[in-house]
Chains A and B, each alone.
Chain A
Amino acid sequence: PICPNGSNSCQVSLGDLFDRAVRLSHYIHSLSSEMFNEFDERYAQGRGFIAKAINSCHTSSLTTPEDKEQAQQIHHEDLLNVVLSVLRSWNDPLLHLVSEVQRIKEAPDTILWKAMEIEEQNKRLLEGMEKIVGRVHPGDLGNEVYSTWSGLPSLQLADEDSRLFAFYNLLHCFRRDSHKIDNYLKLLKCRLIHDSNC
């Protein structure tokens, strides 16, 4: 039951928290896919950026499940922490993405709007996840592990090709990580709320 005008006594159920988180993660991933595809079509055609993007996500140092078996074998507490770590790793780059996208030559408003919307919704999702972790493991806000990002200078390079690759790489990595988060949350929801019987 959703809390009527936030009364204290009433608590949102874990199931509702997961529903909100999955709706948000699905939305964020959709936006990130659209943003990446739009940027790719407009700025990356024929530049071979995909080859350079290999092994270049700042979050690749985080150990994350890469297939169904790994994702199903990991304990839900660890998978929740993976989601938190990946989300936290994107706070800083998404903030800078919003300001730096405005400097791209003829950047369409749609890319700028999506960058702002993603940055906003990612923060909300992180807040929601911290509530979920607090509910699943009271007193534990999850480990504070996350991956730092040092890519701001590359978004401000004078050489256009290098700068565009830096944007491409950031959007490529965020599309990937938002997909991981969405997938892991759907797995967790099915496991914890629907006893793996979605």
Chain B
Amino acid sequence: NGQPPGKPEMIRCRSPEKETFTCWWKPGSDGGLPTNYTLLYTKEREESYHECPDYVTGGPNSCYFDQKHTSVWTIYNMTVKATNALGSNISTPYYVDVAYIVEPNPPVNLTLEWVGQAYASYLLLKWVPPPRADVRSGWLTLEYELRIRPKEEPEWDNIFVGLGTKYQLFRLNPGIKYVAQVRCRSDRGEWSQWSSESHFQVPKEFKLKD
């Protein structure tokens, strides 16, 4: 007994640094039989079909395209085929251009440093781009957003920073503990996840900026 497999569905593709990318699919029913999946794709300006180069690196139900298999500004047309002993089923074609699926990893090493000066004191927040993002050569340009809140309060204050990797924050309340996070995105791409939290307690006595 058993059934042919149900129709799989491509659900998402993501590139963390515009150099590699991963795509995922959702299997249909397996019809009660051992079922295996084959991802096939064509690329713009090419006639031939290729099979997924790496089914492992991206985890279950995924295909990972390393640098050698990744072209930007090129439409990939991909389908997934489910096959078991009683038949097969193919997903609807899925089109993707790596230029528009960039979702970086979060920035790292968010540090909070109190700068106390005669005329004004402020909190200096600094962070570093995600490790595998090549910002240095200009291949990837990242813009950043901060969020901060007093530890005891639920509401975040979001601050769009832009291209810089540090920010000066004035007018914090003396003696209060604060929590901060930072995230990034490539030009018009998806925001990364928020970085891990960093904590800081503002000194009790300092001169408030007028």
Contacts and interface: CB of A to CB of B under 8 A. Distances in A.
Interface string B76-109: 0100000000000000010101010000000000
Given A55-B44, A66-B71, A187 B77 contact: no
A66 B138 contact: no
B138 A187 contact: yes
A115 B205 CA distance: 55
Interface in A159-192: 176, 179-180, 182-183, 186-191
Contact of B188 (A29, A50, A54, A196): A29
A50 B100 CA distance: 14
B187 interface: yes
Contact of B139 (A53, A60, A183): A183
Contacts, number: 72
A179 B99 contact: yes
B93 A191 contact: no
Contacts of B74: 66
The residue among B73, B77, B93, B138 with the most chain A CB atoms within 10 A of its own CB is B138
B136 A196 contact: yes
Contact of A190 (B70, B72, B136, B188): B136
B137 A187 contact: yes
B137 to A, nearest CB: 5
B14 interface: no
A67 B19 contact: yes
Interface string A101-138: 00000000000000000000000000000000000000
A189 B138 contact: yes
Given A60-B45, A66-B72, A191 B138 contact: yes
A72 interface: yes
Given A67-B71, A68-B67, A176-B97, A198 B137 contact: yes
A28 to B, nearest CB: 11
B199 to A, nearest CB: 31
Interface string B172-201: 000000000000000110000000000000
Contacts of B137: 68, 72, 187, 190-191, 196, 198
Nearest to B186: A183
A26 B136 contact: no
A29 B93 CA distance: 27
A198 B140 CA distance: 10
Given A176-B97, A187-B138, A198-B135, A66 B187 contact: no
The residue among B67, B73, B97, B141 with the most chain A CB atoms within 10 A of its own CB is B73
Contacts of A156: none
Interface residues on A, range: 20 to 34
A91 interface: no
A71 interface: yes
Interface in B135-160: 135-139, 141
Interface of A: 26, 29-30, 33, 50-51, 53-55, 60, 64, 66-69, 71-72, 176, 179-180, 182-183, 186-191, 196-198
Given A53-B75, A67-B67, 10 more contacts: A30-B187, A50-B95, A67-B70, A68-B134, A72-B137, A176-B73, A180-B73, A182-B187, A186-B141, A190-B136
9 contacts: A30-B187, A50-B75, A51-B77, A67-B70, A176-B73, A179-B73, A188-B138, A191-B137, A198-B136
Interface of B: 18-19, 44-45, 67, 70-75, 77, 93, 95, 97, 99, 134-139, 141, 187-188
For the complex of A and B, list the 6 residue pairs with the smallest distance between their C-beta atoms, beginning with the closest.
A190-B138, A186-B138, A66-B71, A187-B138, A50-B95, A68-B139
